[in-house]
């Protein structure tokens, strides 16, 4: 099995970070790499998330006003999902599965480019993605993911290929049905954290970006503690959702 990072552009943003141990929030300017993860497994080819929608190269119209004000795409044509896959020798129709960490625009924008894959998503997330209020508040845009794919909704831990090598690990909080993905590589277990942890420092200091309710933040902190446990007790290597330094350090031909 091989895990290959594909960079589907970047987003520049200013994050408001909050911590149980701070008295005030802090703002940081960040450049977030937007990954899609290609998983070559003997039983099939999967993507974990699909990155940005290709229209965002030219226009932020599809984002909604608040989101467009806070996230600024930097996205070249050779970084579109289809181009990244072609550079690896894949056509879009070669992709069997799309596993979603969650349904925010920077994680499912490329889905329209992969029409034949089956989607694997937590049922809580799929339900949240149909919530009219969340759609009106620009949290979700069904045009990114509600495109007629076959959808496999799962609840809790889910063994994707039935051999224990790729397992969905629920990590709710960032969104209602957020999940991470554990892979048993020859080099050892790896967990793609998704947006449960944007970058390493946040886990070390139990910091979260300020968004959502107190309850969702407490749930995210619980999920972060579970990821720390997988690292410290199970020896999992954590690969964070938008960690620029870590992302640049990964080998271009992937991890095995």
CB of 194 to Zn ion, least distance (A): 7
**3-state DSSP percent of the chain in helix, strand and coil, to 5:** 30, 30, 35
Task: Check if the beta carbon of residue 111 is closer than 8 Å to that of residue 89.
Answer: no
Of 80 and 106, the one with the shorter C-beta distance to Zn ion is: 106
CB of 200 to Zn ion, least distance (A): 15
CB of 34 to Zn ion, least distance (A): 7
The residues with which 166 forms a beta bridge, in sequence order, are: 183
CB of 202 to Zn ion, least distance (A): 13
The CA distances from residue 99 to 27, 78, 212, 224, 250, in Å, are 31, 23, 23, 20, 21
Q: Footprint of Zn ion on residues 170-199 (CB under 5 A)? A: 195
- Write the interaction track for Zn ion spanning residues 100-119; mark x where CB under 5 A is met and - where it is not: ------x-------------
Of 1 and 203, the one with the shorter C-beta distance to Zn ion is: 203
How many chain residues touch Zn ion (CB under 5 A)? Answer: 2
CB atoms under 10 Å from CB of 195, counted, come to: 24
Of 165 and 208, the one with the shorter C-beta distance to Zn ion is: 208
Task: Check if the beta carbon of residue 220 is closer than 8 Å to that of residue 174.
Answer: yes
Of 1 and 119, the one with the shorter C-beta distance to Zn ion is: 119
The CA distances from residue 144 to 21, 174, 188, in Å, are 37, 18, 33
Task: Check if the beta carbon of residue 54 is closer than 8 Å to that of residue 83.
Answer: no
Of 144 and 195, the one with the shorter C-beta distance to Zn ion is: 195
Binding site for Zn ion (CB under 5 A): 106, 195
């Amino acid at each position: 099995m091989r895990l290959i990072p594909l960079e589907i552009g970047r987003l520049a943003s200013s994050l408001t970070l909050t911590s149980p141990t701070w008295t005030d929030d802090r703002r940081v300017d960040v450049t977030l790499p937007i990954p899609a993860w290609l998983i070559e497994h003997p039983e099939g080819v999967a993507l974990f998330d699909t990155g940005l929608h290709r229209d965002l190269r030219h226009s932020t119209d599809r984002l909604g006003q608040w989101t467009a004000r806070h996230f600024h795409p930097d996205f070249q044509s050779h970084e579109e999902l289809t181009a990244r896959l072609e550079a690896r020798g894949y056509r879009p129709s070669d992709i069997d599965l799309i596993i979603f960490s969650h349904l925010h625009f920077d994680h499912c924008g490329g889905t329209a480019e992969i029409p034949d894959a089956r989607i694997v998503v937590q049922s809580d997330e799929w339900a949240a993605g149909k919530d009219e209020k969340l759609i009106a508040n620009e949290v979700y845009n069904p045009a990114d993911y509600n495109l007629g794919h076959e959808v496999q909704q799962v609840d809790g831990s889910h063994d994707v290929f039935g051999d224990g090598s790729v397992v969905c690990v629920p990590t709710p909080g960032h969104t209602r049905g957020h999940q991470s993905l554990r892979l048993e590589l020859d080099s050892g277990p790896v967990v793609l954290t998704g947006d449960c942890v944007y970058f390493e420092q946040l886990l070390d200091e139990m910091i979260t970006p300020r968004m959502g309710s107190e309850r969702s933040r407490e749930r995210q902190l619980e999920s972060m503690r579970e990821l720390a446990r997988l690292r410290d007790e199970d020896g999992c290597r954590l690969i964070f959702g938008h960690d620029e330094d870590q992302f640049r350090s990964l080998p271009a031909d992937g991890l095995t």
